[in-house]
Amino acid sequence: MNHDRLGRLRAPAVSTVHVVVPEGIDDPTRPSGGNRYDRRICDGLAARGWDVRELPVSGSWPAPDTAALSALARALSGLPDDGLVVVDGLIASCAPTVLVPQASRLRLVVLVHMPLGDRDGAAVAERAVLTRARAVLATSRWTRRWLLDRYCLPPGAVHVAQPGVDLLDPSPASPGGGRLLCVAALVPQKGQHLLLEALAGITGPAWCCTLVGSPHSDPPFAARLRQLAGTLGIADRVRFAGSCPPDQVGRAYQSADLLVLPSCAETYGMAVTEALAAGVPVLATAVGGVPEALGETDVGLPGLLVAPGDRPALTAALSAWLTTPDLRHRLTGAALRRRSTLRGWGAASERVAAVLSAVREEPSGPGLCASL
């Protein structure tokens, strides 16, 4: 008889879940929507009586080296047979050699913040993992549709748990609406270079723009942004705030008139709902799950949407916001309406808990998607 098998404990009857996350999700110098989501869900499950056992795994995810994959393999091999395991998609989607062999032993759930399938060669690896999972948790309806379309997963196995948000006291609008805010890591896909170029084309109304976001993900790009602001002659009106703790980010929303998010890709856009939680309208690109996060009200959209990469459209939208008081009044009113419909993190945790409970009660055996 295999002594390793004898030595493993069966999964306890209580609601125990093992959550595999990238190391450093609480590192204040590396804030991200995915990290915040993981932290709030883990804390929310624990508050609801779950025994949450976090397993941080080191490595340059989603581009792991051999050492990172070995660390993941060790972490999973120590888990009990039939144990319930949630793996952050940043790790799961690029580790089929580790996860696929474990999928028949563990109750595997993959949490997909952003699909990796558009990266070179990533689709095959991602599909291999997702088709062996008991369930897939997507953080937006857009992401769920993307996964179903690309990988033909069983619809009943792919669930949505949108991020929650903490309501803030509404931001008092300034007379000219010129307090602009962008909250995103300083990386090319977030489009801050387009924002600076668009702002440089506005010569009339007064404005100032604060960029809140970590410069550590792509230091050369962050340095180019500062240089670009100087070259464009707007350095005195652009503030680079760097990484900020949540309370400071909250105060930034409460001191803003408009959030601008010119990303070229977003699966949801947590900054959108965070701004709306303070009654701040949003100017964003119509990509991925951004329209879903923005939502709509009975008085219209709580913001403006432009095509990604369209700098003239971004300039025109900013100019319209700054020069049209009626537009600002209408969008701010819609943002306050949308604020009243936002759901908190408790709802997100309840949704995740419901999916995990269902997976926990399933009969032992391969994942729901294993027959594909």
pLDDT tens digit sequence for 308-359: 999 999 999 999 999 999 999 999 999 999 999 999 999 999 999 999 999 9
Structure tokens at 298: 């009975």
pLDDT tens digit sequence for 87-102: 999 999 999 999 999 9
**What DSSP letter does each residue of 16-79 carry, written as one string?**
EEEEEEETTTT-TTS--HHHHHHHHHHHHHHHTT-EEEEEEE-S-TTS--HHHHHHHHHHHHTS
Cα torsion through 87, 31, 58, 267, rounded to 10: 40
Work out the mean pLDDT of the chain and round it to a whole number. Answer: 92
Answer positive or negative: Cα dihedral of 147, 305, 222, 210: negative
Higher per-residue pLDDT: 31 or 277: 277
E strand or H helix at 6: helix 3-7
pTM here is 0.91
Q: What percent of the chain has pLDDT over 90?
A: 85
Q: Is the pLDDT of residue 2 over 70?
A: no
Domains in the chain: boundaries? 3-164+345-361, 179-339
pLDDT at 31: 77
CATH superfamily of 3-164+345-361: Glycogen Phosphorylase B; (3.40.50.2000)
Identify whether the C-beta of residue 192 lies closer than 8 Å to the C-beta of residue 228. no
Structure tokens at 181: 């805010």
Q: Which residue has the tokens 């070229």?
A: 264
CATH architecture of the region 179-339: 3-Layer(aba) Sandwich (3.40)
pLDDT tens digit sequence for 131-162: 999 999 999 999 999 999 999 899 999 999 99
Lay out the sheet containing 51-57: strands in order across: 51-57, 16-22, 84-88, 107-112, 135-138, 158-160
Higher per-residue pLDDT: 362 or 194: 194
In the predicted model, what is the mean pLDDT of residues 240-258? 95
First to last CA, the chain: 33
Question: Crossing angle, helix 311-323 and helix 325-339, to 10 degrees?
Answer: 100
Is the fold of 3-164+345-361 the same as that of 179-339? Answer: yes
